[in-house]
Amino acid sequence: MSDIEHPVVRPRRLRTTPAMRELVAETTLTPAQLVLPVFVREGASEPRPISSMPGVVQHTRDSLRRAASEAVQAGLKGIMLFGIPETKDAVGSGATDPEGILNVAIADVAAEVGDNLVVMGDLCLDEFTDHGHCGVLTPDGRVDNDATLLRYAEMAVVMADAGVDLVGPSGMMDGQVAVIRDALDRAGHTDTGILAYSAKYASAFYGPFREAVDSSLKGDRRTYQQDGRNAREGVAEALLDIEEAADLVMVKPALAYLDVIRRVREAVDVPVAAYNISGEYAMVEAAAERGWIDREPAILETLTSIRRAGADIILTYWATEAATLLRR
C-alpha cells in the first residue's frame, strides 16, 4: 500500500472536459460585445490594404457597406467609422462638411444596417488636419483646447444629422464631453449618445493606425493624451466625463492598460469599452505569420484578457473574425 497521501482538493476536476470548462468559465466573450473599427477612404475605387495591419483595408463606400452587413451577420452589435479625406487643412474642414467622407459613410452604413448595428463615428480632427493633431493650433503650434471644442461641437451635430448613434470624442480636450452634449441637445439630437475616449494614453502602439488613416502628424500628442505612468489619472478622467454626461467611457490602448480598465470598471456605473488597438493587432499578426504563435487561439486569448480585466465592450479589428471563431 502506498504511503502517498492523495490530495482531497483537486481543482483539476473542473477542467476535465470542454463541457466542464465551459460550465464553470468565469469570463464570457460573445460577438455582441465586439465592435468593428473600419476605415473609409474618400474617392477610393477599390479597397486598399494596410501593410502594417494584414487583413485590414481602407474601404470604399461600397465595400464599407458590405463590411457592415457582414458584421451584422456575424452577430456584432457595433461598428466604429474613421474617415480618410482626399484633402486636409489646418482646421480639419472635412470633418464638418456634410458631404465629407466620414459623414456620408455614416449615412451609408446607417441606411444599410438600420437598427441592427450601433453606428459609431470617431469624433476627432486628426484625420482631417494637415498637421495631424486632434485640434486647432495656435500661431506658435500648440493645440488650442477651447478653439478645438467649438470644432468638436460642430462636428458632433453634423455626424448626428448623418445618422450616427454614438459619437466617439477621442481628442482628449478638456471639457469636450460637456460641449458636445450641449451642442447635440441644442440641435435636437437628445438620443445621440457619447462614447467618451476617457483614458486615452500616448502610446507607442498607435503606429499602424497612422498608416491606416494616412496621418499627417508632426510632433507628438503628449500634451493632451495621458502619460502611461498614470493610472489614477485615467479613473479621474473617466469620472469627469461621466459628470459631463458621457453615456459610455473607454480605455485606449487595451493590453498595456489592463490595470486601468479594471480600475475604471470598479469606479464607474456606466458601460466600459476598451480599444484593442492597431499595434496590439499587428504584433499578433506578425508573430503568427512567422509561425511563432498559434494565431486563432491568440486572438481569442487576447480579447478574453480584455474582458477579464473588466471591459464590457471591445473595439477590435478582429471583431468579425472573432465572432466566427466564437461560434465554432
Asked which of 215-219, 244-248, 324-328 is least confident by mean pLDDT, the reply is 215-219
123 - beta bridge partners? 169
Cα 2 to chain centroid distance, Å, stands at: 58
Alpha-carbon torsion angle 268, 270, 276, 277, nearest 10? -90
The CA–CA distances, whole Å, from 64 to 40, 85, 88, 101, 307 equal 7, 15, 22, 12, 27
Q: Look at residues 164, 316, 317, 166 and name the one whose alpha carbon lies nearest to residue 248.
A: 166
pLDDT of 1: 54
Characterise 31 by phi-psi region: left (phi > 0), alpha (psi -120 to 50), beta (else): alpha
Residue 143 lies in a domain: yes
DSSP 235-276: HHHHHHHHHTT-SEEEEESSGGGHHHHHHHHHH-SS-EEEEE
| CATH code of residue 159 | 3.20.20.70
Residue 7 lies in a domain: no
Helix axes 145-162, 101-113, angle to 10 degrees: 40
Interval 13-34: pLDDT, tens: 999 999 999 999 999 999 999 9
Residue 45 lies in a domain: yes
Q: Which domain holds residue 109?
A: 28-327
Cα 79 to chain centroid distance, Å, stands at: 9
Whether 251 has a pLDDT exceeding 60, the answer reads yes
Residue 9 lies in a domain: no
Whether 237 has a pLDDT exceeding 90, the answer reads yes
Asked which of 54-68, 174-188, 198-212, 306-320 is least confident by mean pLDDT, the reply is 198-212
Residue 13 lies in a domain: no
Predicted TM-score (pTM) of the model is 0.95
Residue 6 lies in a domain: no
Averaged over 52-81, what is the pLDDT?
Answer: 97
Q: Are 233 and 226 in contact (CB under 8 A)?
A: yes
CA distance 304 to 314: 10
Backbone angles phi, psi at 9, to 5 degrees: -85, 120
Interval 290-303: pLDDT, tens: 999 999 999 999 99
Backbone angles phi, psi at 219, to 5 degrees: 90, -150
Buried b (16+ CB within 10 A) or exposed e, 258-271: bebbbbbbebbebe
Looking up cell 445621440 gives: 192
Residue 22 lies in a domain: no
Residue 253 lies in a domain: yes
CA distance 181 to 245: 7
Q: Which residues participate in catalysis according to the annotation? A: 200, 252
For the chain, the domain total comes to 1
SS3 40: strand
Q: Look at residues 286, 279, 303 and name the one whose alpha carbon lies nearest to residue 204.
A: 279
CA distance 160 to 165: 7
